[in-house]
Amino acid sequence: MHGKTKIAPSILSADFSILRDEIKALDSSNCEYIHIDVMDGHFVPNLSIGPDVVKSLRKYTKKIFDVHLMIDPVTKFLTPFIEAGSDIITLHHEISEDVFKCIEYIKVNKKKVGISIKPSTPVEVISKYLEHVDLVLIMTVEPGFGGQELLKDQIEKVKQTKMLIGDRKIDIEVDGGINTQNAKTLIDAGANILVSGSTIFKSKNYQKTINELRNL
């Protein structure tokens, strides 16, 4: 766990008809990350974007691209997403492929790597990954769609994650239903990266909302 709370606006909730402008608006804000949800309609019940979109957006910002792969299989897509300009690639414990091989491939290519679990997955499964990852992503909604309400029972899972991590330098990221009312609860539970989509992109002032999420 490190320092101040980092904010990762999720472009799943952005206006895709003006996605370049949305990225530029985030670039001028003080958010640290830009969270990019990749969905295949199979692992989760929705489709989103592929590596070509990530590549096309890369030239408009130097912000950290935090790419969350909600796809299965994963292996054949790792190289395209690495080459597209991803900085962090997070994959799911629940995929059918060898997760450790995927983690190793990402690290060999000098990218940071995260592991994520769905709400129904017991938190204990992350233990075996802790010597190998930079980040643990706790889904606080069922993955697939933006705009959902936070599942309050996942707050306890964040606390348990913090205990499992101990003094390791691993970020705890939370994603799903995060707004200005519950952000502090998640930070207090141990999260240091907050992913937020609808709350930021439905606001009139992205920077103001980012500051509020950070509890400045």
Q: Looking at residue 2, what is its pLDDT?
A: 56
pLDDT band at 3 (very low <50, low <70, confident <90, very high): low
Residue-range definition of the domain harbouring residue 88:
6-213
59 belongs to a structural domain: yes
Residue 100 CB: number of other CB atoms within 10 A?
Answer: 11
Among the residue ranges 28-37, 103-112, 142-151, 160-169, the one predicted with the least confidence is: 142-151
**What is the number of structural domains in the chain?**
1
- As a whole number of angstroms, the distance between CA 169 and CA 159 comes to 16
**What pLDDT is attached to residue 174?**
98
Q: Is residue 161 part of a domain?
A: yes
Residue 153 designated active-site: no
Predicted TM-score (pTM) of the model is 0.96
184: CATH? 3.20.20.70
Q: Which of 37, 40, 66, 171 is catalytic?
A: 37
Query: Which among 40, 66, 171, 175 is annotated as catalytic?
Result: 175
pLDDT at site 153:
94
* pLDDT value of position 184: 95
pLDDT at 147: 81
The answer to whether the beta carbons of residues 132 and 170 sit under 8 Å apart is no
Structure tokens at 170: 């691993």
Our answer to whether residue 175 is catalytic in this structure is yes
- Is 109 a member of any domain? yes
Structural domain contains residue 1? no
